[in-house]
Amino acid sequence: MNDDPNNLPSGDFDAHTMRVLEYGAIVAMLAERTACALGAERARELLPSPVHAFVQERQQETREARSLIGDFGTIPLGGIYDVRPYLVRAEVEQALAPGELLQIASTLLNGSRLKAFLVRHVAKAPLLADRAKAISDFPPLMGEIENAIGRDGTVQDSASTTLGSLRSQVRVLARRVDDRLNQYLSGNFRAMLQDPLIVLRDDRRCLPVKAEYKSAIKGIVHDQSASGATLFIEPMPVVELNNELRQLEGKERQEVQRILSKLTALVAKQGEKIHGTCEV
């Protein structure tokens, strides 16, 4: 008998038998009913086993799961993602995106919840509870990610003192630029604009000026409409302010990248344990 319960001995289950049983269709249906991508992958990899004890154990785990679902309506498997590709990138110091870090935090949090649920009901599901003990807990890492990244997937001002300060300066300076530009949206200048609004061109705040009034509003032309009827002009009085604003925004982006790189390094440090948790 083969010691590896997933390694079929030659002739026990040949290709013809598998086709007759429509085994591929069975595991495909099973994969469609799993709660997460990791479960679907495991389902597609399932093979019949000639090892009686192995089959009995898996059937007992299935009975335990059915019993838990019967008593509680569900098993907490939501919020678990296949984060293994992120671990590979973290290992080579490729900074992860905020949304990817949130998926890691969600997977670790819900893995811990699943573990707690199964261990709490060890009397009803001893095999599943024993299997769940291999799930690691990561409170410090989850805390770092959740403190830095909001639920909307953006790096929060509170992620670092430097970022909070830079964003405050950006908001103040942006208001100053807008206040200057708003002076053009009324009075004599209003008739020179295609629309009374401030637009972004090349990341700079501009006005949509009718082409025939180009000489009336001195400034830098950053773009024009397809018809050429509208020029997007950055008035000279705000050029210096826009320069300062872009410098601050550049520093802000650098700080965000530094924070993401730091969080990625923390993930990489725990990469082996996280990967092990995903494989449970």
Q: Which of 107, 36, 151 is closest to 267 using CA atoms? A: 107
- With tokens 């080579």, the residue in question is 92
CA dist., res. 55 & res. 35, Å (int): 22
Residue 12 located in a structural domain? yes
Q: At what angle do helices 98-120 and 139-148 cross, to 10 degrees?
A: 140
Higher pLDDT, 48 or 229: 229
* Helix, strand, coil percent values for the chain (each to nearest 5): 60, 10, 30
Residue 64 located in a structural domain? no
Domain holding 18, by residue range, is 1-50
Reading the block at residue 2, the tokens are 């083969």
Write down the pLDDT at residue 118: 96
CA dist., res. 241 & res. 249, Å (int): 12
Write down the pLDDT at residue 7: 47
> Percentage of the chain with pLDDT > 90?
78
Write down the pLDDT at residue 264: 98
CB 163 within 8 A of CB 155: yes
CA dist., res. 233 & res. 209, Å (int): 7
Residue 128 located in a structural domain? no
Picking from 50, 66, 84, the residue at the C-terminal end of a domain is 50
pLDDT digits (tens, 9 = 90+) for 160-184: 999 999 999 999 999 999 999 999 9
Write down the pLDDT at residue 13: 65
Burial of residue 100 (number of CB atoms within 10 Å: 0-12, 13-18, 19+): buried
CB 230 within 8 A of CB 208: yes
Picking from 50, 67, 82, the residue at the C-terminal end of a domain is 50
Write down the pLDDT at residue 137: 94
- Report the DSSP beta bridge partners of residue 209: 193, 231
Residue 22 located in a structural domain? yes
Number of domains in the chain: 2
Q: Is the pLDDT of residue 12 over 70?
A: no
Q: Is the pLDDT of residue 11 over 60?
A: no
End-to-end CA distance of the chain: give it in Å, rounded.
25
CB 270 within 8 A of CB 138: yes
pLDDT digits (tens, 9 = 90+) for 72-103: 999 998 899 999 999 999 999 999 999 999 99
Q: pLDDT tier at 10 (50, 70, 90 boundaries)?
A: very low
Write down the pLDDT at residue 278: 86
Write down the pLDDT at residue 279: 84
Q: What is the mean pLDDT of the chain?
A: 91
Residue 150 located in a structural domain? no
Write down the pLDDT at residue 61: 94
Sequence-ordered list of residues with C-beta below 8 angstroms from that of 162, at least 6 positions apart, any chain = 255
Q: pLDDT tier at 20 (50, 70, 90 boundaries)?
A: confident
Write down the pLDDT at residue 182: 92
CA dist., res. 263 & res. 163, Å (int): 15
Residue 149 located in a structural domain? no
Q: Is the pLDDT of residue 153 over 90?
A: yes
Residue 279 located in a structural domain? no
Write down the pLDDT at residue 50: 84
Residue 40 located in a structural domain? yes
